[in-house]
Structure 1
């Protein structure tokens, strides 16, 4: 089957896409050995270096795998999903369970490692959350997540901070839906203020056990509400 020569534009991207189409359409099934670089280059009308880069991109997407001395083989017909994509597609309850594991540990570390600057940021974030109680649900959720982000940052672990940042877009959507569907703020505009105030106090006094306990209880209550939707 002729692949057809490519137009002279970003050749690596075009070559990658053309080869990807052959795989995802089923023309090259799992287990198929791809033609050699020379053959592919001739079919696509590009140089071998372009084909090599395209194959590297397909390998990075989890579609092909080079085998030393044997060639390049198709190992999947759908590209693997990155972490951000998996989070966007995951159920909010699943995301929340993982958030609980991550953030409770972060709260305990924050109580042990927080600096005076961290406490200033946390206090300001708590005040912003209280101010946002008079605003929209979206504004309130944003302020709530900002407080939690400040607490995670106070743990001074860049990996924890990076992971929590990945969670934020999914959390925003899920929590806004939760607040709106259950009208959580209809009788209590500053929903959960006591728990968040206690969390900041525990971190401020360096009580890691209390910080973890308070946050775990808060997140469990929210998870139970999410399961009720």
Structure 2
């Protein structure tokens, strides 16, 4: 290896080590050279090597064994959650979406505040108004309503999970709604069930909220995946 040049040295070092792992110089299950040897080979200090190894460990490519050294555990970085979602089949995304959102709807019905109800009413009205817009605007309005519902559950973990799903859902739904002409007969597709859902949250009825949303998501999933 040739010495590395300044920039983010630890990133360069991690990239260089990753290249050698991908090339098979250090195979999966094998042990990496020690810090001193790596530092000399890369032309950097030991602290830079340690930082590079931490980066690779976070990516799932290496693991330190106390008293034994650092071993290669994979020849590719672990795929992150957003990337995995982008590759997932829509059916699988909808199955997990149902698990997340139905529980969020139940929680929202018991935890919603006046501010949450105002936000839900506004999002429902915006979804209704988007019936006269194009598919992209309609999908955006639909996702905004579901985002407001999840926010009303007041669970930051659910917020984070839905935030990961939303971009994937938007991309796939914009494509599929247009492809299958889902709004051809009713440009406000699903409005009645969404209005019932918001009403159940207003009424503080978690069972109704969960049941209505589960049925709505299943109907959409079945429609999109019918063929």
Residue equivalent to 1:79: 77
Farther-moved stretch of structure 1 (82-91 vs 72-81): 82-91
- Of 187, 190, 212 in structure 2, the residue corresponding to residue 189 of structure 1 is 187
Match of 1:208 among 206, 210, 216: 206
The Cα offsets for residues 172-194 of structure 1, whole Å up to 9 and x where unpaired, read as 01211221111111121100110
Paired residue for 1:110, among 100, 108, 111? 108
- Report if the CA contact (8 A) 1:126-1:196 is conserved: yes
CA distance in 1 between partners of 2:214 and 2:75 (Å): 41
1:225 and 1:25 map into 2 onto residues whose CA distance is 46
CA RMSD of aligned residues (A): 0.9
TM-score, normalised by the number of residues in structure 1: 0.97
* Superposed CA offset, 1:132-155 (max 9, x none): 111110000000000011011111
The CA deviation string for residues 23-79 of structure 1, in whole angstroms up to 9 with x for no partner, is 122221111111111111111111111111111111111001111111111011111
Moved more, 178-187 or 94-103: 178-187
Work out whether residues 29 and 71 of structure 2, in 8 Å CA contact, stay in contact via their aligned partners in 1.
Answer: yes
Task: Output the CA distance in 2 between the equivalents of 1:11 and 1:77.
Answer: 21
In the TM superposition, what is the alpha-carbon distance from 1:226 to its structure 2 partner? 2.6
Q: What does 1:18-33 correspond to in 2, within 5 Å?
A: 18-33=16-31
Q: Which runs of 5+ in 1 are unaligned?
A: none
The 8 Å contact of residues 92 and 170 in structure 1, kept in 2 or not, is answered as no
Q: Which runs of 4+ in 1 moved over 6 A?
A: none
Q: 1:93 aligns with which of 91, 94, 98?
A: 91
Q: Which of 44, 47, 67 in structure 2 is aligned with 1:46?
A: 44
Q: Which residue of structure 2 aligns with residue 137 of structure 1?
A: 135
1:178 corresponds in structure 2 to 176
What's the offset of the Cα at 1:18?
Answer: 0.3
Task: Tell me which residue corresponds to 1:124.
Answer: 122
What secondary structure sits across from 1:191 in the alignment? coil
Stretch deviating more after TM superposition (139-148 or 22-31): 22-31
Q: 1:227: how far off?
A: 2.0
SS in 2 for 1:228: coil
CA distance in 2, matches of 1:226, 1:19: 44
Q: Is the 8 A contact 2:127 2:138 kept in 1?
A: yes
Q: In structure 1, what is the Cα distance between the partners aligned to 2:113 and 2:163?
A: 21
Give the match's secondary structure for 2:225: helix
